[in-house]
Amino acid sequence: MKIAIAGSGALGCGFGYMMKKGGHDVTLMDYWEDHIQAVQKNGLTVDVNGETGNVQLPMDKPENIEDTFDTVFIFTKSMGLRAMLEAIEHTLSNDTKIVCLLNGLGHAQTLAEYVLEENVIMGTTVWTAGIDEPGITHLMGQGPVEIQEADPSGKEATLEIVEMMQDVGLNGVYSDNVHFTTWRKACVNGTMNALCALLDANIQELFESSQSQSLITKIITEFSRAAEVENVELDIDEMVTYVTEISESVGAHYPSMHQDITNHRPTEIDFLNGKVAEMSEEYGFDAENCALITELIHAKEDVLGIK
Amino acid sequence: MKIAIAGSGALGCGFGYMMKKGGHDVTLMDYWEDHIQAVQKNGLTVDVNGETGNVQLPMDKPENIEDTFDTVFIFTKSMGLRAMLEAIEHTLSNDTKIVCLLNGLGHAQTLAEYVLEENVIMGTTVWTAGIDEPGITHLMGQGPVEIQEADPSGKEATLEIVEMMQDVGLNGVYSDNVHFTTWRKACVNGTMNALCALLDANIQELFESSQSQSLITKIITEFSRAAEVENVELDIDEMVTYVTEISESVGAHYPSMHQDITNHRPTEIDFLNGKVAEMSEEYGFDAENCALITELIHAKEDVLGIK
């Protein structure tokens, strides 16, 4: 399969590496100059669950890529999705499938502005990754990468991509309700990410605080109202239990939004609690807690001079 | 006048010093051992707006004081009021006036449990103070110390105390609506204190963030609903302007709740936003923002191991 990774940070590199190792024709696209030069010179080195390897593969800015691809995996930050879709337009044919594994809410609507619905495949992943230095990353995980076509006509192509991911060790799984999985994951990020960033706490510290269950329940209650607008039913108690169980498995880990704040990078709050608050105004349900949390995170970005 | 200061931290020492200098018989009461010993040995040294002096005056734990007093000024933290009232009970006669200048809401109700209403005088102060080391403090200010009797029968005594404070340079002012002043001050503390503590920001940074007006308006709106329950009318726009003007005059200063969090001390949130949230449940108005902010501050205390 001829594959491009649009947004080759930690997770993009990990996925690209696995697919290249698995025998596919993979091109990495990104804008980080040092990272591009390192990969062009020394190839991409990735540690996957403790085992390190190196692959040679092309990497460049999207505007320097002339090929078109069978499949493009998007791995930008939420706020980078729109710009990336504009930048890669010339690499897409009428048949190119776009696989979107981004965290957060509202991405299907953004994709619909740039890509035919029959080419869109939405998904979620529980794999995690990090960049050690330009050209050198690590990937951790074993859980499923769940994907589902946005339009019924895309099912066959989706199944092929599932099979490809299984073959290369990425645990591809066909989902018949990726919309639910997306909302469930948003509940995880909308609670842990936002609260740990606000409280300067790791996940274990957050869940050991006596307010955690109340705070998480308030947020998930509002997420469930927003999900209902999209015909996704989130059982509040079930979600609180799910999030709490995840917190127990990850322990004293700082979620990505905390890392963003610490490293003075913009957060993805607008695509989590902020999206729920935005939907609450459009559809007339109550989401005051998500609205306040979104404002507090933006205030924190402002105080730190993050643009 | 025979005066006791119940809770002789920074502000209590400053007030006690001014009254002693002004010729009154002043006793300091507190529980901080090093501070008590320093004052017993070297007297109390206070810098008032840049001018330093020293006075000799008795200081001890309340249980070691055998006198009764004409007037007791309470200068504990909000959460220390109840314990202090129990500790000083033996120093009160049937005529002892209690002057309560504490920040925060709900103190009149606590006082009513321990003291006859005719002996209660409520007030607010805009003076600020700090402790440099045991026995050495500073006091800054010139603004009014407004007081008013809780029961009409206490008016004459209140006017005497106003006069005493004028004589000693504390700018005593008789207020005919100290209830309003108390709520207005609570609006200042319920916005600046809570938000700066949550955002790890100083007052200038908070007000320069693009969310500040929205955040402050949300909080003040809920404070105004709570004030209404006590027949105090707070005009929301007026209050937002008032708080914003104060922020401009204080600038890059960290309010006390930020200092509490930084120094790992419990905050007074339950007597500000927490009291509004509590009243919202009792009286059935909406105060979700105050409720969330209170939980977030308590979560932050928990994360820092503050008890």
pLDDT (tens digit per residue) in A292-302: 999 999 999 99
Q: Is the pLDDT of residue A307 over 90?
A: no
**Sign of the Cα pseudo-torsion (A83, A86, A90, A92, in order):** positive
Please tell me the distance from the alpha carbon of residue A50 to that of residue A70, in angstroms, as a whole number: 30
Strand duo B25-29 + B2-6: pairing = parallel
- Predicted pLDDT of residue B126: 86
The pTM for the full model equals: 0.90
Q: Kindly report which listed range (A61-65, A144-148, B116-120, B127-131) carries the lowest average pLDDT score.
A: B127-131
Token match 């607010």: residue?
Answer: B124
CA distance A120 to B73: 71
Identity of the residue in B201, B295, B298 whose CB atom sits nearest the CB atom of A303: B201
Task: List the single residue in B with minimal CA-CA distance to A298.
Answer: B211
Asked if B79 and B92 count as a contact pair (C-beta separation under 8 A), the reply is no
For A124, the token pair is 């979620």
Alpha carbon B152 to its chain's center: 23
ipTM: 0.89
Q: Which of A182, A193, A181 is nearest to A105 (CA)?
A: A182
**In the prediction, which pLDDT does B38 show?**
98
Q: What is the pLDDT of residues B6-17, one digit of tens each?
A: 999 999 999 999
Candidate from A205, A210, A299 with C-beta closest to B211: A299
**pLDDT, chain A, mean:** 96
For residues A253-278, give the mean pLDDT: 95
Phi, psi of A211, rounded to the nearest 5 degrees: -90, -5
Distance from CA of A299 to the nearest CA of B (A): 5
| Nearest CA-CA distance, residue A78 and chain B, Å | 21
Mean pLDDT of the A46-54 span? 97
The values of phi and psi at residue A52, to 5°, are -100, 140
Q: CA A278: distance to chain centroid?
A: 20
Taking only the tens place, the pLDDT of each residue in A167-209 is: 999 999 999 999 999 999 999 999 999 999 999 999 999 999 9
In this predicted structure, what is the pLDDT of residue A251? 86
Regions of chain B short of the pLDDT cut 70: none
Q: According to DSSP H, which parts of chain B are helical?
A: 10-21, 33-42, 81-87, 107-112, 155-167, 178-188, 194-199, 203-208, 212-229, 236-250, 256-262, 273-283, 288-303
Q: Do B206 and A288 touch (CB under 8 A)?
A: no
Angle at alpha carbon of residue B183, lines to B179 and B185, rounded to 5°:
115
| Substitution target from A195, A219, A303, A306 for chain B, most B beta carbons within 10 A | A303
A218 touching B (Cβ < 8 Å): yes
The more confidently predicted of residues A278 and A256 is: A278
CB count in 10 Å sphere of residue B150: 22
Catalytic (active site) residue A185: yes
Report DSSP letters for A245-290, one per residue: HHHHHH-S---HHHHHHHTT---SGGGTHHHHHHHHHHHT---HHH
Give CA–CA dist A299/B171, Å, rounded. 37
Q: Are B12 and B42 in contact (CB under 8 A)?
A: no
Alpha helices in chain A (DSSP H): 10-21, 33-42, 81-87, 107-112, 155-167, 178-188, 194-199, 203-208, 212-229, 236-250, 256-262, 273-283, 288-303
Please report, as a single letter, which amino acid is at residue B37.
Answer: Q
DSSP code for B115: S
> Between vectors from CA A241 to CA A236 and to CA A244, what angle results, nearest 5°?
125
Does residue A201 sit at the B interface (CB-CB below 8 Å)? yes
- Res A126: pLDDT: 86
- Rounded CA separation A229/B270 (Å): 36
| Residue B301, min C-alpha distance to chain A (Å) | 9
Give the C-alpha separation, B16 to B228, whole Å: 35
Does B221 touch chain A if contact means CB atoms closer than 8 Å? no
Nearest to A280 by CA among A215, A236, A222: A222
Amino acid at B230: E
B193: which DSSP letter? I
Query: In angstroms, rounded to a whole number, what is the distance separating the alpha carbons of residues A9 and A137?
Result: 8
The answer for B304, left when phi > 0, alpha when psi is -120 to 50, beta otherwise, is alpha
- Mean pLDDT value of segment A142-153: 94
Q: Give the active site residue among B185, B218, B275, B307.
A: B185
Q: Are B189 and B255 in contact (CB under 8 A)?
A: yes
- Name the residue type at position A96: T
Residue-wise pLDDT tens digits, B224-260: 999 999 999 999 999 999 999 999 988 888 998 999 9
Q: What is the pLDDT of residues A213-248, one digit of tens each?
A: 999 999 999 999 999 999 999 999 999 999 999 999
- What single letter denotes the amino acid at residue B140? M
In chain B, count H helices and then E strands.
13, 12
The structure tokens 């009160």 sit at B92
Hey, are the CB atoms on A199 and B298 less than 8 Å from each other? Answer: no
The crossing angle, in degrees rounded to 10, of helices B212-229 and B288-303 is: 110
- In Å, what is the CA distance from A69 to each residue of A19, A60, A212, B226? 14, 15, 45, 61
Distance between CA atoms of residues A74 and A12, nearest Å: 8
- Hey, which residues does B28 pair with through a beta bridge? B5, B59
| Range A113-123 average pLDDT | 96
- Partner B contacted by A212 (CB < 8 A): yes
| A173 DSSP β-pair partners | A146
